[in-house]
A and B are shown apart, each in its own frame.
Chain A
Amino acid sequence: MSDIQPLYFTLLYGVLNTFDGLFRYVSAGQPGPILIRHHQAVDLTSPGMPIGLFEDAQFEEQQLRLEPGDKLLVFSDGLSEMRNHEGDVLGTTRLAEVAAEAADLSISQTLDRLLDSLEAWRAGNPHHDDMALLAVARRAQDGSGKRLMSIQFPSHSEQLAGLREQIRSALADQSIGDEDLELLILAVDEACGNIIQHGYGDQPGSILVTLDRYSDELRIGIRDWAPTIAEPNRMCGRSLDDLRPGGLGLHLINCGVDRMRYLTPPPEGGNHLEMTKQIGPKA
């Protein structure tokens, strides 16, 4: 009998970038995740040693991009290792089959359906491990939101004219008046100008602008990879009574959109600004 019981644990560690849907994760002996896409569920379990067993264990990062409409299930092995009365282990393959049946459901319905199905399969057979189940969904484009535009361009002021033109054509058939449209374009121009001038300075970089239409609002995402701004939501413009050049950009942004806020900085750095503009119902 050995003196020391090896202490170890399994883990799935992942970071989901909610801007572009990129899920980067590492598995240390943990099953899953399971991806549900187009009515199919795929078991994405990757090999990896539990933590604590070997000092020189290597862990390989996996990457997965959640597309609009995709769902991702993350779960503990207590769930996938449950047994029924016949002594069969549930397993990730069977779990994926059950998950596929819930492909069209909302995220909360998916969880309810999964738990019901698993309870039915287990049929009251006692289970002694803890179970955890997490479901994440990326909004479908054709349901609640529709992507109208996504362009990435180098951080240079000569790009701004093209950006404005792209926004103008992306919003041409949306129910937005001329004045509101011009102010919205101005707000995006000002925000990108700030990134070019203050975010990147003279350094090369890139800016990603996305435009999504929801039933009653437009959402504009502006992503950069410049140094992350400390406490960005506390930035404020200057008084208009003070007649001097410069410093009006933030004021104009606030005139052009109903709300602007910086989202939590993505793990790989940079900034993520989200602006929303209320608009009338779709024509």
Chain B
Amino acid sequence: MKIELRHENGIQIIALQGEIDMHSAAGLRERLLGALRHNQSVIIDMSAVKFVDSSGIAILVEGYKVAKNNAQGFALAGINPAPMQVMQLTRLDKVFPIFPDIASAIKAGESE
């Protein structure tokens, strides 16, 4: 899985590409928790992610909880149908702030 980090308007955007499973989850965890150490909001761009399993879900939950504790913004954007199905089955679609794309996630963050 490819992980790219960029900054846009003071927000950290983590763009993921590939599949988040038990193998790739460890790398994602490191990058995500690393990014959350900076006192900035984080948006995860999921538009190039085709598969997420419970290992991936666990990392997102962990990241979300860290962000919430630190009062940092945390959002997921551009989730594809298969990963979205996993979010729904685990009811996390009601927990995570989810946006159709990065632009709408940034806009929602600015208006807060």
Contact = CB atoms under 8 A, between A and B. Distances in A.
Contact of B90 (A183, A193, A252): A252
Contacts, number: 66
Contacts of B61: 243-245
A194 to B, nearest CB: 9
Interface stretch (A24-32, A140-148, A156-164, A267-275): A156-164
Interface string B81-108: 1100110011100010000000000000
A193 B81 CA distance: 22
Nearest to A185: B51
A255 B88 CA distance: 11
A166 to B, nearest CB: 14
A91 B102 CA distance: 80
Contact of A243 (B22, B55, B85, B95): B95
Contacts of A251: 89-90
Nearest to A165: B19
B5 interface: no
A158 B57 CA distance: 18
Q: What class of interface size applies to chain A in its complex with B?
A: 20 to 34
Nearest to A163: B21
B22 A186 contact: no
Interface residues of B, number: 22
A196 B54 contact: no
B100 to A, nearest CB: 20
Nearest to B82: A182
A245 B33 CA distance: 14
Interface in A145-175: 157-158, 160-161, 164
A248 interface: yes
Contacts of B19: 161, 164
A249 B54 contact: yes
A273 to B, nearest CB: 16
Contacts of A189: 21, 53
B90 A157 contact: no
A161 B89 contact: no
Contacts of B90: 240, 248, 251-252
A182 B88 CA distance: 14
B94 to A, nearest CB: 10
B59 A245 contact: yes
Interface in A233-283: 240, 243-249, 251-252, 255
A56 interface: no
Given A161-B23, A179-B85, A193-B22, A243 B65 contact: yes
A255 B21 CA distance: 17
A248 B57 contact: yes
Contact of A252 (B23, B51, B53, B59): B53
Interface of B: 19, 21-23, 51, 53-55, 57-59, 61-62, 65, 81-82, 85-86, 89-91, 95
29 contacts: A157-B23, A160-B21, A161-B19, A161-B21, A161-B23, A164-B51, A178-B81, A179-B82, A179-B85, A182-B81, A183-B85, A186-B51, A190-B54, A193-B54, A193-B55, A196-B22, A240-B90, A243-B95, A244-B65, A245-B58, A245-B59, A245-B61, A248-B58, A248-B90, A249-B53, A251-B90, A252-B54, A252-B86, A252-B89
